[in-house]
Structure 1
Amino acid sequence: MPHHHHHRHGMEHLLGLLKIKVLKGVNLAIRDVSLRTSDPYVIVKMGSQKLKTRVVKKSTNPEWNEELTLSIDDPNLPIKVLVYDKDTFTLDDKMGDAEFHIGSFLEAQRTLLDRVPSGTVISKVQPSRDNCYAKESPIIWKDGKVVQNMVLRLRNVERGEVELEIHWVDIPGSRGLAL
């Protein structure tokens, strides 16, 4: 039997769902020079999955507060965050990109945390030359779940940052985050 099933999202291959709350953009690049602003939206990509926020009109400090859901089957793949400026008549302009990995987040996810108070910082991911964090990224036990807050500095653009918050959802029937 040839194996063709690795492209389909079979439940047995899924670890679970990653909820990515795209909070806001900070000091994004200006792409509409006449109006000194942009109409930004965010695309989140992981492997073959591609999700998109709505467009915020005329803002270089947009607040999306939009939750996107990725199905995770390979936790080692980077999650890419791309910012674009919506153009009516031409191709949408790139406004930078960033990426992050969820290794530390998943590690924290496996820690048993029922006994610690909400707001407890489990660990922190430090910014380095090898990642896109603009500052320390805390992984926190909050309201019964592990949450990671991150500020990503956009690359390939003159300026801008994007703030995200992620948390995990286990799916019944998936292989889960077994140790």
Structure 2
Amino acid sequence: MKTEDLNKIKKMEVDEITEEIKRMHDELMEDKKFFPESLLEKLDSEKALQEIFEKILKDFKHHIYKEEKILFPYLINLAKAARNEIPFEKPYFETVVNPINMMQSDHESINDATERLKILIDDELSQKKINSAIAEKINDIIEYIRKVIYLENVILFPKAALLEKKFLV
């Protein structure tokens, strides 16, 4: 990610960052730019690679679902409450730190799996078992996932926890 893009995101409000990450989720999982599902079919002859990649996609989809159904609506409302657009409502999960910890645990698992996948891809490429174009597309997906995780862990989550502290004192 370019430094200027990163600086722009750092200056955004929590709800704006959240919306940007939702857009990135959509781009990754639904856009024709990546088309991860079609890559799975192309990996049919390499079962180990296919299984790890399929598990990463499944885990990431589940992770996105949890974020977009539980955490993100709260973050958007938290930002609105900070601007006095709506009243603050304490979440049923007590504090944003609880779902953040769960999301960060997911991130660790996903990062571990993407690291294993990268190693396997490099091995398969060196043995000429997979097409370099397919390997490049998978690596692009891995990098995109890592970028989203970075934005959440390093920018969004700390900013949201700090914002919430203003209400929970």
Q: TM-score, length-normalised on structure 2? A: 0.26
Give the strand-richer structure, 1 or 2. Answer: 1
Higher relative contact order (Cα pairs below 8 Å, separated by 6+ residues): 2
Q: TM-score, length-normalised on structure 1? A: 0.25
Give the helix-richer structure, 1 or 2. Answer: 2
